Amino acid sequence: MKNNIKLISFLLIGLLILSGCDKFLEEDLRDKIPAEEFYNNDAEAILAVNGLYRILYRGSLYKTRGLDNYLENGADEVGPSRNVNGEIFNYLIAEGVADGNDTWGSLYELVRNSCVNIASIEGNEKLSEKVRDQALGEALFMRSLAYWHLTNLWGDVPYFRELLTLEELGTLERTDKVLIRTEMKEDLERAFDLLPTSYSGSDLGRATKWAAATLKAKFHLFDKEWVFAEEECLKVINDSPHRLLDNYADVFDQSDPANQYNDELIFVVDFTKDPIFNDAKTARTDDYNPRIRDEPKNRNERPGGAGTPQLWEVLTDTLATYNEEMNGYGWAIPLPELADQNNWEEGDLRYEATIVKEYLGFELSFPYFRKNWNLNKDNSPRENHPENYYVFRLADVYLMAAEAQNEINGPANAYEYVNKVRERAFEIDKPWSGMSQQEFREAMYDERKYELSAEGKRRLDLIRWGILLDVVRETKQRAWNNPAANIQSQHVLLPIPLDEILLNPNLLNSDPSNNGYR
C-alpha cells in the first residue's frame, strides 16, 4: 500500500472526511461531510477507506510511541535508556498527566470516520459488489480495531455506531465494555465474510479476512471465551495463506524497503520513506536505534593511544563502511532481565535475533532490540523510516490457539500449536510435553514474552492474566526508574482524559472515581 494510500488519496480524503482535530467532542463532523457528493463510484469508495488507514499513521497511534506507551512501557520488556517518559513508565499517570488524550482523540476519529464509511457504502448501488464488500469489510475492521484499543486502555467508554451531532456527543455516557466488545465481535464476523483473502502489489497492507479473524480471536481471548478464540485462530492457521518463516530473524528483516512483506505477517501499518505526506513515515525506529553519543562502551577511550581517534569515532567510521550510522533516539531498550541471555532457555535462537549487546566488534553501553532497529542511513534515515509496524503475525495466532486449547481441555492438544512456534526457536528442538494445565499456563507467560517481545503485546498480556502488578514489582529496573514503588490496581486502565471530562462531565456518571484515579 506504499503507493496506493499515501499519495493523492490522502489529500482528497483529508478534505472530505478527516477533521484534523484530536478532541473527541471538538467538532460537529456530520455537518462537514458531503457524503451525498462522494462514494459515487468504486474509486471514491476506496479513497474514503484509505483515509481510515491514514489515521493509523498518527504519532498518537503507531507512528512513534503513542500506543507503545501503554502496550509496552511499564511492563517487563522495554524501558528507557535514560530518565525520560517517567510519567508513563513509572506509573505517575493521573487525569491530565499521561492520560492518553491524543491517543483517545485519534481512536475516536477512527471510529467516527469508520461510521461515515459504513453508512455511505452499505447498500450503495453505485458501487460494484466486489468493492462495496471490501470497503465495508475494511471499515468494520477499522472501527473494531479502534474499540479494541479503547476498551483495553480505558474499559467502559463512550460508544456509538453512527455519526452523532456535537450535542449528542457532548452528553454521551460510558457504555459497558462487554456490550461494545460483543458487537465488535459480530462486526468482525461480518467483516470476515466481506474481506478478500489476500492482496497484491500496491494493495499489500490492507486488512484481509485473516486480519479480521485474528482481531476477533484477540477479543475472545481477552474475554476468556476460549472455544471461540481457538475457532478464530484455526481459521487463520488452517485456511489462510500465512505460514511461519523458517528463520525467526527473517520475520523482522525490513532492510529492503521494496520487499517488507513476508508470509508470516497478517496485518501491518505500512510506513514509507520520503512520502508525499509527512505522516506516512515513522520515527518509531529511532526509539530502537542507538544514538552515537551513548556508544560504544568506554566511547572516549583512544585505542591507538594519545592523539588517535576516540573509540566512538572508530565505531562511526566502521559503521560508515557498511553504510550505517547510529543516529536514533536510543531510548527503547531491553530491561536488564530480558537482556540477560541466562534468563532465556538454553539454546533459544530468538535471543540473538532479538537482543544485541555487541556490534561489529564493539561492546555497547546498552543492549538494544536488534529485531526493531535499522541502521542503514540511506534506506532508513533518522525520522524518515519505512519500517512497518507489525500489528498481527502468525506466531501470535499459534500461541493464542495453544493458550485457548489449554484452558478448554488442558495441554494434551495444545502442545501442537506452541511446539510449532518452538520448532524454529531451537536448533535442537525442545518441544513441550508432560505439563499440567497450570504449568502450561505459566510457561506460556514466558513463551509469549520471548517470541513477541517489543511487539506491543506484553502489557495487555500481563493485564489479562491478572499479573501486571506482581510482574512490575518483581522486575529489575535501571537506576532512573522505579515503577514498582508507584503501580497500583487502578493502573490496569487509564483515567478518562481530563480534557474530555471538561467537555462532557457525563463521562463520570457511571464511575465518579474515573477508573480509580479520583
Query: What is the pTM (predicted TM-score) of this model?
Result: 0.94
Q: Which of 219, 236, 231, 237 is nearest to 181 (CA)?
A: 219
Q: How many CB atoms lie within 10 A of CB 346?
A: 9
C-alpha closest to that of 421 among 449, 458, 451 = 451
Describe the chain by its helix, strand, coil percentages, rounded to 5.
50, 10, 45
The domains found in the chain, sorted by start residue, are 8-241+493-508 (1.25.40.390), 284-385 (no CATH)
SS3 393: strand
What angle do the packed helices 8-16 and 42-55 form, to 10 degrees?
A: 90
**Nearest alpha-carbon partner for 138 in 151, 150, 121:** 121
How many Cα atoms within 13 Å fall on the side-chain side of residue 46? 17
Q: Which residues, 6+ apart, have CB-to-CB distance to 159 below 8 Å? A: 147, 172, 175, 179, 180
C-alpha dist (Å) from residue 386 to 63, 328, 392: 10, 14, 18
3-class state of residue 51 by DSSP: helix
Per-residue pLDDT of the chain (518 residues; tens, 9 = 90+): 554 433 333 333 443 443 333 343 343 443 444 555 789 999 999 999 999 999 999 999 999 999 999 999 999 999 999 999 999 999 999 999 999 999 999 999 999 999 999 999 999 999 999 999 999 999 999 999 999 999 999 999 999 999 888 889 889 999 999 999 999 999 999 999 999 999 999 999 999 999 999 999 999 999 999 999 999 999 999 999 999 999 999 999 999 999 999 999 999 999 999 998 788 999 999 999 999 999 999 999 999 999 999 999 999 999 999 999 999 999 999 999 999 999 999 999 999 999 999 999 999 999 999 999 999 999 999 999 999 999 999 999 999 999 999 999 999 999 999 999 999 999 999 999 999 999 999 999 999 999 999 999 999 999 999 999 999 999 999 999 999 999 999 999 999 999 999 999 999 999 999 999 99
The conformational region for residue 236 under phi > 0 = left, psi -120 to 50 = alpha, else beta, is alpha
* Residue 310 contacts residue 54 (beta carbons within 8 Å): no
The residue with cell 506460556 is 444
Write out the H or E segment, with its range, that includes residue 226: helix 226-239
What angle do helix axes 394-409 and 209-222 make, rounded to 10 degrees? 40
149 Cβ contact partners less than 8 Å away, ≥ 6 residues apart: 67, 103, 107
Amino acid of residue 395: A
